[in-house]
Amino acid sequence: MEMHLPRDVQDGLDAARKAAQLKSHRLRVEAGGVFYRILRAWPGGFAVDAADAPHLGGLVDLYDGSRHLSRGLIVAAVEEAGEWHFDYKRMTDASASQPADFARAPDAPAGLLEHVARRPDDAA
């Protein structure tokens, strides 16, 4: 059975569905210092709201809330149903530690705290 709704009712339902999608997804993409919410993501790309995001391209960072997930290059694929669809050209996972060009000993200290001598007139 196919049902036809008045245009304003259908627009209201579409807006409510989009608002629910935005609330449920924490994924966002950062391009040029500006963050855009991701509506949907799949292994080869993602979609953002066409009304909120410009035609993106180039180097972007992908976040889940405040956690940095990855950095990569994207290309715009298509705009359909009010969404920009982007494909990953290259994506590299973000890591918490910086890469090193030497082997670190497993028992090496994480850092060095120097002893600071106090002057007698310093208050504790």
Higher pLDDT, 67 or 122: 67
In this structure, is residue 31 part of a structural domain? yes
Query: What local confidence, expressed as pLDDT, does residue 122 receive?
Result: 62
In this structure, is residue 60 part of a structural domain? yes
In this structure, is residue 10 part of a structural domain? no
Number of separate domains in the chain: 1
Looking at residue 53, which CATH number applies to its domain?
Answer: 2.40.10.430
In this structure, is residue 76 part of a structural domain? yes
Q: What is the pLDDT of residues 34-79, one digit of tens each?
A: 888 888 888 888 888 888 877 787 888 988 888 888 888 988 778 8
| Distance (Å) of CA 38 to CA 8, 65, 77, 92 | 26, 11, 15, 18
Residue 87 · residue 75 · CB < 8 Å: yes
Q: What is the pLDDT of residues 8-25, one digit of tens each?
A: 887 887 777 766 655 556
- HSE value, Cβ hemisphere, 13 Å, CA-based, for 23: 6
Q: Which domain holds residue 83?
A: 26-93
Average pLDDT over residues 22-30: 73
Average pLDDT over residues 95-101: 67
Name which of 20-24, 84-88, 108-112 the model is least confident about.
Answer: 20-24
| Distance (Å) of CA 101 to CA 87, 98, 104 | 32, 10, 9
CA–CA dist 94, 86 (Å, integer): 20
Query: What local confidence, expressed as pLDDT, does residue 99 receive?
Result: 66
